[in-house]
Amino acid sequence: MDKVLVTGGAGFIGSNLVDVLIKKGVDVVIIDNLSTGKLKNINPKANFLKYDLSTIDISELINILDGVEFIFHLAALARVQPSIEDPIPYHHANVTSTLNILYAASKSKVKRIIYSASSSCYGDSDKVPQAEDDETNPLSPYGLQKYIGEQYCSMFSQVYNLDTVSLRYFNVYGERMNLDGAYCLVTGIFARQMLNNQPLTITNDGNQRRDFTYVGDVVDANILAAQHPANLNGMVFNIGNGQNFSINNVADMFGGDKQYGEKRLEPFETLADNSKAKKILKWTPKGDLKKWIKNYKIELGI
């Protein structure tokens, strides 16, 4: 890899990916509109461009892609609940932006797009663990939008001969995760509440289980997907740890008082069958949620 574009490179996962790529000597261009990304996350050695991919002029985007070999498309408006409350801006950010980047890439000499998909496409699946060929049943506009992005990637591979690969992330945690807002991931919510000496608020009964995946493992999966020697032609991979915990378990790892109350429509259990990524991408997750939370608490002083 000589030159790449990372969309959403000021965000949680994107900025971690950028840092690793730059350490490897890769020339990195970042596109981010800073709607959720942060300037402080941007590696000073990257070339940062502030654009909204849902409204960018396509000819300008094609010019930006001059010399770019790989695109890591992470830019998105994430989180399920706010997409239910206000789906239209989420559609523009998650679908229109993806179509624009795919179309511009098809007009350039980009070798492959690595698309950040979501395990939310499975919805409330009765089958555990979830495998890539299982039925999809998104329960939110966000889940559907991210799945539409996968379908666009597959179609561009078949119709436009643009090599693509989609990585379905399962509940990513780690350095630079968002602690702000009511709808950040539960690990971020619990950390913020501990910092503010508040009880840990748990939706439903807390027995719902999630597969938590370390951000460093997600970064590794992206790089391995880019470096894979054969065309991937729209293939989809689960990127999950392959182990899950109940929300009550996670609260116990943080150690705060629990508070129950809010009811919310959500999948009861997510668990990745990650055998396909292990076999084809040679990817192995290394993250340990318990150890990470223990160290994170020390770092935050809680």
| Domain containing residue 293: CATH number | 3.90.25
Number of structural domains, the chain?
A: 2
Tell me the β-bridge partners of 259: 201
Q: What is the DSSP string of 204-223?
A: TTS--EEE-EEHHHHHHHHH
Query: Residue 245: which of 171, 139, 164 has the closest Cα?
Result: 171
Q: Is 122 found in the same domain as 11? A: yes
The answer on 71 and 166 residing in a single domain is: yes
Same domain as 200, residue 264: yes
Judge if 35 and 151 occupy the same domain.
Answer: yes
Instruction: Please give the C-alpha separations between residue 76 and each of 13, 165, 259, 288, in angstroms, as whole numbers.
Output: 11, 17, 31, 26
Same domain as 205, residue 126: no
Residues in the chain: 302
Residues 103 and 125 in one domain: yes
User: Does residue 221 share a domain with residue 148?
Assistant: yes
The answer as to whether 178 is a domain residue is no
Q: Are both 126 and 76 inside the same structural domain? A: yes
Using alpha carbons, select from 36, 57, 59, 67 the residue that is nearest to residue 47.
Answer: 67
- Are 128 and 259 in a shared domain? no
**Does residue 203 fall inside a structural domain?**
yes
CATH at residue 31: 3.40.50.720
User: What is this structure's pTM?
Assistant: 0.95
**260 is annotated as an active-site residue:** no
**Rounded Cα–Cα distance for residues 301 and 286 (Å):** 25
How does pLDDT run along the chain (302 residues), one tens digit per residue? 999 999 999 999 999 999 999 999 999 999 999 998 999 999 999 999 999 999 999 999 999 999 999 999 999 988 778 889 999 999 999 999 999 999 999 999 999 999 999 999 999 888 999 999 999 999 899 999 999 999 999 999 999 999 999 999 999 999 999 887 655 788 999 999 999 999 999 999 999 999 999 999 999 999 999 999 999 999 999 999 999 999 999 999 999 899 998 888 788 899 999 999 999 999 999 999 999 999 999 998 88
Q: 203 with 137, same domain?
A: no
- Pair 145, 251 in one domain: no
Surface-to-core class of residue 125, CB atoms within 10 Å of its CB (0-12 exposed, 13-18 middle, 19+ buried): buried
Residue 181 domain-assigned (yes or no): no
Domain with 206 in it: 186-210+244-270+288-300
86 and 42, same structural domain? yes
In a domain, 34, yes or no: yes
Which position among 122, 142, 152, 296 bears the catalytic label?
A: 142
